[in-house]
Amino acid sequence: MAANWKMNKTIAETREFLRDFIPSVKDVVDVDMVIAPPFTALAAAGEAMRGTPVQLAAQDIFWEEKGAYTGEIAPAMLLDAGCRHVIVGHSERRQYFHEDDSVVNRKARAAQKAGLGVIFCVGESLDERDSGKTFDIVRRELEKGLEGIDAGNLVVAYEPIWAIGTGKTASPEQAQEVHAYVRDILRKRYGTAAEEIRILYGGSVTPENVNSLMACQDVNGGLVGGASLKPDSFAKIVCYKKEK
């Protein structure tokens, strides 16, 4: 279960969250927990998570190692702050910051080269879904974005844009349909290793709907925005009930 805090929380708020959250999940053994705070809070979060099962992720990365790239953050800097993963290709980066498939691919490659796990996001807009393009979009994003990317340390997140921050969750059937399609594409690229790649669902995941989403065969976790900002809410999501 991964928390994407987006542009939320100061350093003090991050510390306060972790002070409450970490003890509340101390008995969790079978769910990997990842939190992605904003850049300014990474180092403080990394310190607070040290020695705990909660892992740190960044929300973005730049592909160069160092130099004259004002405002950018290099892979080694993320490692230095304690990050083990990075989110790449989020629809908000694609939409507001004009990141295309080749930019997303360069970021993913740089992350893997540095030893960071990649949480690779794909997903269609409402227009694209309504015009029957969901599978084409998801296929293109995966085919172009995963060029040269290894299966090890790769997590894919399916986040339908229409479900992000809208309170409109994809139904378990809608999620499973696309997740199964993602798995098929991963099989073509990675063979049997595709079975081990975790495919997260993202888009208005809450403590109320997490159980039914996690009951889907190809839904292996969640990438949670709004509902990850409160410790008790994210802890409830982490402690979802497994339905058979």
**Residue closer to ligand 13P (CB basis): 190 or 227:** 227
Q: 222 — alpha (psi -120 to 50), left (phi > 0) or beta?
A: beta
Q: Which of 75, 218, 216, 105 is nearest to 157 (CA)?
A: 218
User: Which H or E element spans position 30?
Assistant: none
Tell me the C-alpha distance between 60 and 240, whole Å: 27
Q: Which residues are catalytic, by number?
A: 90, 159
Q: Closest by alpha carbon to 73, among 94, 99, 42?
A: 42
The label of the residue with tokens 């892979």 reads 75
Identify the three-state secondary structure at position 202: strand
In the complex, minimum distance from the CB of residue 201 to ligand 13P, in angstroms, rounded to a whole number: 9
Nearer to ligand 13P, 187 or 198 (CB): 198
Instruction: Give the residue closest to ligand 13P by C-beta.
Output: 225
Give the residue with the Cβ less far from ligand 13P, 137 or 193: 137
| Structure tokens that stand for 72 in this block | 């950018």
What single-letter amino acid sits at 195?
E
* Residue with Cβ nearer ligand 13P (55 or 204): 204
Closest approach, Cβ 67 to ligand 13P, in A, equals 29
Query: What gap in Å lies between CA 53 and CA 23, rounded to an integer?
Result: 11
For ligand 13P, the closer of residues 63 and 234 by Cβ is 234
Nearest approach, Cβ of residue 221 and ligand 13P (Å): 12
**Which residues make up the interface to ligand 13P (CB under 6 A)?**
4, 90, 159, 164-165, 202-205, 223-227
CB of 65 to ligand 13P, least distance (A): 27
Q: How far is the CB of 188 from ligand 13P (least distance, A)?
A: 26
Do residues 212 and 185 make contact, with C-beta atoms less than 8 angstroms apart?
A: no
